Amino acid sequence: MTAQPMLQVSGVSVQFGGLTAVDNVSFSVPPGTLLGLIGPNGAGKTTLMRVITGVVQATTGSVQLEDDRLDGLAVHQRIRKGLALSQQLVRPFREISVIDNVALAAGSRHTRTPLTALLHRKRDDELRVAHAMLERVGIADYAQQRPGILPLGVLKRLEMARALALQPKLLLLDEPLAGLNSKEAHALASTIQDINRQGVTIVLIEHNLGEVMRICESLVVLDNGSLIASGPPRDVMSQPQVRAAYLGGDTIAAAQGGTETLTGDAHA
């Protein structure tokens, strides 16, 4: 990689009391990449994500977004530097319509400080951006509805549209496919791939391996808090330590569409 990485995670460790949740993890995300962050339950994926967003402070190590070191910044300051997060549990504002939810995020230049927010009223531009974002994720038909009664698939896309409306350099997606049926998951994964192709760098945490293998350009695998493999999906999946830690033979067969090969043994 000649280009400067969009995201650089360097030697991050997180300890909760005596428990090491993340142990000296380093990886980088080149601009324009769709990177999958995977690992079994309890591997430390969510903790690592929280270190990146600033909800959890790393015990050691540092996180850098392009030229900006994020260490010590509050969540909202990191968002202002160009991060955006689509949360695992959808949390739309239920009192306002779908498009108002997205417009609220799109108004970030007005909401930087209370004073600028007080001095601005108009939001024609933000509504236009919001509409474009809803179209981008395919839920423009729901623009005027309240999120309360909408299906989970729509709310997941709303969460993503809201994150995109911040016009982030890097989009973090925390299990966007969780809770969806296979058809919905497939469609949303394709949408994620489209968004990435439009130039947004994405880090995707996901349990749905089939979709991860299908859309991600590279993977980072965590197990017990440590990084055990990284690289192109097929190379990573064929490594024995990944299979041992995370996959059964069955899962790999499913992930590779039943064409399980033994290339992994060659690497070992």
Partner 1 sequence: MAYEISLLTSMAISVLFALSLNLITGLCGQISLGHAAFLGIGAYTSAMLCKAGLPFFATLPAAMLTAGLVGAVVGLASLRVRADFLAITTMGVVFLFVGIVRQQDWLGGELGISDIPPSGLDKPGFMMLAIVLAAATAGLSVYLKKSWMGRVFNGIAEDEDTMRVLGIDVPRYKLAAFAIGTALAGLAGALYGQHFKYIGPDSFGFIESISVLSMVVFGGIGSIPGVIFGAAVLSALPAWFQFVGDYKLLMYGGLLFLMMRFSPEGMAGIVRRLFRARRPHETRKPDTASAPRTKGIHP
Binding residues for partner 1, rule: CB under 8 A, are: 53, 74-77, 79-80, 85, 87, 91, 93-96, 100, 104-105, 107-108, 110-114, 116-121, 123, 162, 166
94 vs 197 by CB, closer to partner 1: 94
Contact 87, 36 (CB under 8 A): no
The nearest distance, CB 198 to partner 1, in angstroms, is 21
113 vs 144 by CB, closer to partner 1: 113
Phi then psi for residue 184, to 5 deg, are -60, -40
Give 140's DSSP letter.
G
The nearest distance, CB 123 to partner 1, in angstroms, is 7
The nearest distance, CB 260 to partner 1, in angstroms, is 40
Q: For residue 192, what are the CA distances in angstroms to 54, 67, 247?
A: 24, 26, 24
96 vs 152 by CB, closer to partner 1: 96
Tokens of 110: 């007005």
85 vs 139 by CB, closer to partner 1: 85
91 vs 267 by CB, closer to partner 1: 91
Tokens of 207: 């349990």
The nearest distance, CB 258 to partner 1, in angstroms, is 39
The nearest distance, CB 126 to partner 1, in angstroms, is 9
The span from the CA of 25 to the CA of 228, in Å, is: 9
- φ/ψ region of 24 (left if φ > 0, alpha if ψ in -120 to 50, else beta) reads left
The nearest distance, CB 242 to partner 1, in angstroms, is 31
- Determine the straight-line distance between the first and last CA of the chain, rounded to whole angstroms: 26
- Angle between helices 152-164 and 182-197 in degrees, nearest 10: 10
Contact 5, 30 (CB under 8 A): yes
Instruction: Give the length of the chain.
Output: 268
70 vs 79 by CB, closer to partner 1: 79
